[in-house]
């Protein structure tokens, strides 16, 4: 099994597919009125469905963002700027990762996350002419105030907890799950050394930003995730759809 797609409702699937294809290097194909876009690999696609248009990111919402992992965030950010895309300055965020952020034309948040921490990137890690050539959708990020319920649900589906990350200066912690039998470099789930390893995984992880006791609102334009190998539709611990991929 694997996380095979994130479903989003958007106002103009074709226009948004063009952005992800031309700017972020994904491939796109039409499926009826929808567009399926993504990179070539084990990671998830995005399935863009008609009918949205009122989306605005909010910290009180359950759905948050996607994370796109790349070998060289500086190259990727410079490329985006040349395309006229507004992107934040890359920086090392605590002991989590070297990253920057942008939004797509409809306002959905995208995090670009480098495989290696600042200062650890190998020389010539990325291709200046094609900075997204090795990109993957590394994370689909949801928020939760009850990680115990989400943890139980993920484990019941056969997912493995790969990493827990303390972000207490900002009032939350992070939990990453995936359908995998990979062995961690360090069995301590809080270990920092697991993180650069995690950002290099070829598959998509389900990331939870956990704010203890917080309540979050559903996002009508978040239509759930697809899981390849899932026999029947489910709902996650929050009640959002989980569909066969």
* Domain assignments of the chain as residue spans, ordered by start: 2-244
Q: How far apart are CA 97 and CA 228, in angstroms?
A: 28
Rounded average pLDDT over 119-130: 95
What band does 54 get if pLDDT is binned at 50, 70 and 90? confident
Residue-level pLDDT at 122 = 96
Whether residue 109 contacts residue 63, with contact meaning beta carbons closer than 8 Å, is answered with no
Q: How far apart are CA 149 and CA 162, in angstroms?
A: 17
Residue-level pLDDT at 42 = 96
Tokens of 245: 């991929």
- For 77, phi then psi, to 5°, come to -65, -40
Per-residue pLDDT of 129-172, as tens digits, reads: 999 999 999 999 999 999 999 999 999 999 999 999 999 999 99
Whether residue 245 contacts residue 42, with contact meaning beta carbons closer than 8 Å, is answered with no
What predicted TM-score, i.e. pTM, was given to this entire model?
Answer: 0.97
Residue-level pLDDT at 53 = 83
Whether residue 99 contacts residue 113, with contact meaning beta carbons closer than 8 Å, is answered with yes
The answer to whether the Cα torsion of 215, 218, 222, 228 is positive or negative is positive
CATH architecture of 2-244: Roll (3.10)
């Amino acid at each position: 099994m694997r996380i095979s797609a994130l479903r989003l409702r958007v106002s103009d699937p074709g226009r948004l597919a063009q952005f992800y294809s031309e700017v972020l290097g994904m491939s796109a194909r039409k499926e009826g009125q929808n567009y399926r876009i993504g990179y070539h690999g084990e990671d998830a696609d995005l399935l863009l469905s008609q009918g949205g248009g009122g989306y605005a990111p909010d910290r009180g919402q359950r759905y948050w963002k996607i994370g796109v992992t790349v070998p060289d965030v500086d190259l990727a950010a410079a490329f985006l700027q040349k395309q006229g895309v507004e992107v934040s300055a890359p920086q090392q965020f605590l002991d989590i990762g070297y990253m920057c952020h942008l939004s797509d034309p409809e306002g959905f948040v995208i995090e670009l996350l480098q495989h290696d921490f600042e200062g650890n990137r190998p020389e010539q890690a990325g291709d200046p002419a094609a900075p997204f050539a090795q990109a993957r959708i590394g994370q689909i990020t949801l928020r939760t105030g009850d990680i115990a319920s989400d943890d139980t649900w993920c484990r019941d589906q056969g997912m493995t907890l790969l990493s827990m990350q303390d972000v207490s200066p900002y009032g939350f912690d992070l939990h990453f799950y995936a359908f995998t039998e990979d062995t961690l470099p360090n069995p301590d789930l809080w270990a920092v050394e697991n993180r650069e390893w995690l950002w290099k995984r070829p598959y998509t992880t389900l990331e939870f930003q956990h704010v203890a006791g917080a309540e979050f609102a559903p996002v009508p334009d978040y239509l759930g995730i697809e899981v390849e190998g899932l026999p029947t539709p489910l709902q996650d611990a929050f009640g959002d759809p989980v569909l066969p991929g």
